Amino acid sequence: MQDTPIDTTKMRILEMNTQYLGVSLGMLMQGAGREVARIIIRKEKVRGKHIAILCGPGGNGGDGMVAARHLQEAGAHVAVAYIGAEQTISSTDTLFNWEILKNLHDIEKAVLKAESAIKNWNTLQESDIAIDAILGFGVKSKLREPILTAVKAFNKSSAIKYSIDVPTGIDADTGEIHGDAVKADYTITLHASKPGLLKAKDYVGKLYIVPIGIPPEAECICGPGDVWLFNRPRSATAHKGDSGRILIVGGSNVYSGAPALAGLAALRTGADLVSVLAPEPVVSAIRSYSPNLMVSSMGTRILMRESAIAVIDAAQDADVLALGPGLGLDKETGATVISIVAELAVTGKPMVIDADGLKSLFSSGVRFDPARSVLTPHWGELEILLDESLGDSTDLKNRMQHCIRAALEFNSVVLLKGPVDVVAHPDGRYKLNRTGVPAMTVGGTGDVLTGIVAALLARGHPAFYAASAAAYISGLAGEKAFSDFGNHITATDCIANIPCAMDEFN
């Protein structure tokens, strides 16, 4: 349980990552129903009182069904009405709890399929306490029948009114009223408050926040919930480029593989178009890796001052710039990186800075937009960024401390690569990613991660989300490659497994 409000996106991520830790939604439902009942029992002294619970098809309805059992156990006369046809129950956990109620003959059950049935359900009007467990926090459009009639009937009741999580009809994020809404005397919200509850106080009544069994660790791990945000179906009217135009700037007169790996990883992550801008000596080599990459020359043998204009111009047509893979450590390259990054940071261009690009930043004074930028150092590169020895690289707390410090110093999300990846935001938020295998020490896996981050950042969600999802995907893709090849995996094996990693929990 926490005091800071959580929007619907964060709550869904949290629920999925809780499942990833082994705590099922069914277990959370049992906890939610029990805690709802506990508050009502404490406030109302329910023994002998008549309680009507209106339940909907999703998890909120299941919470109400669980609460019904606990309220009956406390001595109340409980009646539960399901709004709609039973076939519309969309949650398997809710269906499970509905079947339990059918076995309990002392709890009254009613299936109210139509508006007329709702209006004629006299139990609601005769109750001392009414509980709204119809829709909860997922409402984003106007209420439809028969739920709209149920809300109106609920509001007409003279009973003391409770809502579970969010009064039905209120947008949990904005507080907007979708046509009509339950006007509760008390709202018992689950795990944390929701932003909309603070904006619709006339409908919420007195607010209670109750724990439902979400482990604190679920707040700060990377998991399937983070990937869910980037796995939404594409629009049927989508056009080329809608899912991301990525520019990779990398390579030198020696290195050609790094920018190619980053570009191929971006494509496998779902980017529509990936361009690579590279020094002239390696353009042909990069083109030979794949016809799916659009490769052009910056016209110089390495990234240098006269290349900067070409990079900045090319970046204007891209959703995200990924800068650094294989650039090399020439002093002029470093100075050019600073000039490019400084100019683009002012415009808010989304950027991923990796590898040799990072090593130029330590004394640059450049500050980024943390919603649009990700720095991806390993421990050695972090020491260069912060320009000092940072102590024990195997101490996770030490790694977290310095990762957060770097995020604050550069005003950017920082993804610190390692056996446990650390994703840090300048505001102090952090996540830990535990996917991956030691075999991923093979060269090129960092470039793969850069490409994944860039592709996800192009989807328009904040950089902290993109970095968290990318760390999880990259590590899981490596695990899947390891299951096939053991310690003989390559970076391209990891790239091939990106789609499987993204779809595993879809």
Tens of pLDDT, residues 226-284:
999 999 888 888 888 889 999 999 999 989 999 999 999 999 999 999 999 999 999 99
pTM, to two decimals? 0.94
pLDDT of the residue at 506: 67
Taking residues 29-50, report their average pLDDT. 97
271-296 burial by CB neighbour count: b if 16+ within 10 A, else e?
Answer: bbbbbbbbbebbbeebbebeeebebe
Residue 1 banded pLDDT, cuts 50, 70, 90: low
Residues spanned by CATH 3.40.50.10260 within the chain? Answer: 8-220
pLDDT at 311 over 90: yes
How many whole angstroms from its chain centre is CA 287? 35
pLDDT of the residue at 237: 86
Contact 167, 181 (CB under 8 A): yes
Cα torsion through 56, 59, 65, 68, rounded to 10: -110
Residues spanned by CATH 3.40.1190.20 within the chain? Answer: 243-503
Residue 2 banded pLDDT, cuts 50, 70, 90: low
Which CATH code fits 243-503? 3.40.1190.20
pLDDT of the residue at 427: 96
pLDDT of the residue at 371: 97
Residue 362 banded pLDDT, cuts 50, 70, 90: confident
Average pLDDT, the chain: 95
Taking residues 153-173, report their average pLDDT. 96
Tens of pLDDT, residues 384-436:
999 999 999 999 999 999 999 999 999 999 999 999 999 999 999 999 999 99
Class of domain 8-220 as given by CATH: alpha beta
pLDDT at 3 over 80: no
Tens of pLDDT, residues 460-495:
999 999 999 999 999 999 999 999 999 999 999 999
User: Edge-to-edge strands of the sheet including 320-323?
Assistant: 294-297, 273-278, 245-249, 320-323, 351-354, 373-376, 413-416, 421-424, 430-433
